[in-house]
Structure 1
Amino acid sequence: MNSDELDVKKITVMLVDDHPMVQGGLRACLSFYEDIKIVGSTTEGKEALNKALELKPDVILMDISMPFMNGIDATEIITEQLDDTKVLIFSMHDSAEFVTSSIQAGASGYILKDTTSEEVYYAIKAVSNGKTHFSSSIAKVLVESPVRAGNEKLTTREQVILSYIAQGNSSKEIARKLNISFRTVEAHRRNIKAKLNIDSLAELVRYAVNHGLVES
């Protein structure tokens, strides 16, 4: 097996952070993992859009506070244009406002800059596999933020579908995984929102985390 074949199995990662020391630290800690390959980096959100379209990485490690375009706006545009690229927020901000805005923008996870290198690696692996990952303190923020929930409980099928939704799967993807029709998934999605009195994806993810339906 040649080196090119080995590269195919690596998770390609792009770094977006306006602090060179942070990028240097990430490169150093991720260099120990043979299944991670950093394919590019940039220091601001607007340039991240062009590089993401060019490189199409599996995962983008995205800061929030950056010049020209913040990471949340960049995340929203990137996730709309690149279905196979997952964005993992890597930030010092731990407020509910930043967390929920990031999730609404399409981020698959949110970890803090004081996290360990092992968790950074685990988070990259998780989101690259279509899951979500939140630092424990971020998961706590989601749990403690009030969720508008009704009294009706979800059925087992609805819980499974909500779990897939919270992991970033589209209705089409959920239908394929559960071997049911797209229309059935959409009907379940409407029922879930009605039962929980929830409209936004951020609140659905928060509910899923709070009730153990998604990994944190």
Structure 2
Amino acid sequence: MKTIGIIEDQTAIREMISQAVLDPNEFEVIFGTGDGQEGYEKCIEMKPDFVILDVMLPKLNGTDILRRFSKELPETRVLIFSGYQSPGLVRELLQAGAHGFVEKSAPLTELRKGVEIVSSGGSYFGPEVALLLRDAMADPQTSDTGISILTKREREILQLIAESNSTREIAQKLEISVKTAENHRTNLMRKLDLHDVASLTRYAINKGLISIGD
């Protein structure tokens, strides 16, 4: 039996996946959480065989979780299940190590198919994502992965800024000095050519780091 972790910020969706998608004879859900940082830590601790991962998550987004997995949990299979998709995001998630991507607008049969194929070692993309992937590969210039120029710390700070944390709160959460947090904030603003919180927040939403309701 394969062990599985579900990192999804909507409780109802986590329960739906557990009860209506996963075959209890094939999968054992060893944890479910809506917090990106907690989900990452549980994965490191429990080492599930398979993870269903949302992109927009509080504290640590799905793309950064994937990047960490590629180094720390290379054998864990990951299926993205998200309502946000764009050609650039799909490409970035693949580069970060995703093995499949099913959009939340797809029927449950698509998610079941994705779970079966990805957990067994294959790759799978829902119909909408497959079209986006084709577009991204056909025209690399359409990519919107400008966020890749940011360092890991700058991406963390961008997400925290967009989640309405002050510089002092960011410093406390990341256990760095206020001065260091300010320096990172200045660097990411310079790199993105965005110079106010509203612009950074819109950018984070467009990149799938946070949702409008966060």
Once the 2 structures are TM-superposed, how far is the Cα of residue 115 of structure 1 from its aligned partner?
Answer: 2.2
Match of 2:62 in 1: 71
Match of 2:129 in 1: 138
Match of 2:102 in 1: 111
Rounded to whole Å, the distance in 2 between the matches of 1:22 and 1:103 is 23
Match of 1:83 in 2: 74
Distance change in 2, residues 1:148/1:117 (3 Å): closer
Q: What amino acid maps onto 2:81 in structure 1?
A: F
Mapped pair 1:16 → 2:16:
no
Mapped pair 1:95 → 2:86:
yes
- Tell me if structure 1 keeps the 8 A contact 2:52–2:80: yes
Rounded to whole Å, the distance in 1 between the matches of 2:21 and 2:137 is 36
Mapped pair 1:47 → 2:38:
yes
Match of 2:119 in 1: 128
Aligned residue pairs, count: 140
Rounded to whole Å, the distance in 2 between the matches of 1:128 and 1:146 is 25
**C-alpha offsets along residues 129-154 of structure 1, whole Å, 9 cap, x if unaligned?**
221110011111111225379xxxxx
Match of 1:57 in 2: 48
Once the 2 structures are TM-superposed, how far is the Cα of residue 30 of structure 1 from its aligned partner?
Answer: 2.7
Identity %: 26
SS of structure 2 residue aligned to 1:141 = helix
Q: TM-score under structure 2 normalisation?
A: 0.61
- Tell me if structure 2 keeps the 8 A contact 1:18–1:43: yes
- Tell me if structure 1 keeps the 8 A contact 2:6–2:31: yes
Rounded to whole Å, the distance in 1 between the matches of 2:18 and 2:137 is 37
Match of 1:35 in 2: 26
Once the 2 structures are TM-superposed, how far is the Cα of residue 19 of structure 1 from its aligned partner?
Answer: 1.0
Once the 2 structures are TM-superposed, how far is the Cα of residue 58 of structure 1 from its aligned partner?
Answer: 1.2
Once the 2 structures are TM-superposed, how far is the Cα of residue 90 of structure 1 from its aligned partner?
Answer: 0.5
Distance change in 2, residues 1:34/1:61 (3 Å): same
Gaps of 5+ in 2: 141-214
Once the 2 structures are TM-superposed, how far is the Cα of residue 121 of structure 1 from its aligned partner?
Answer: 2.1
Gaps of 5+ in 1: 1-9, 150-216
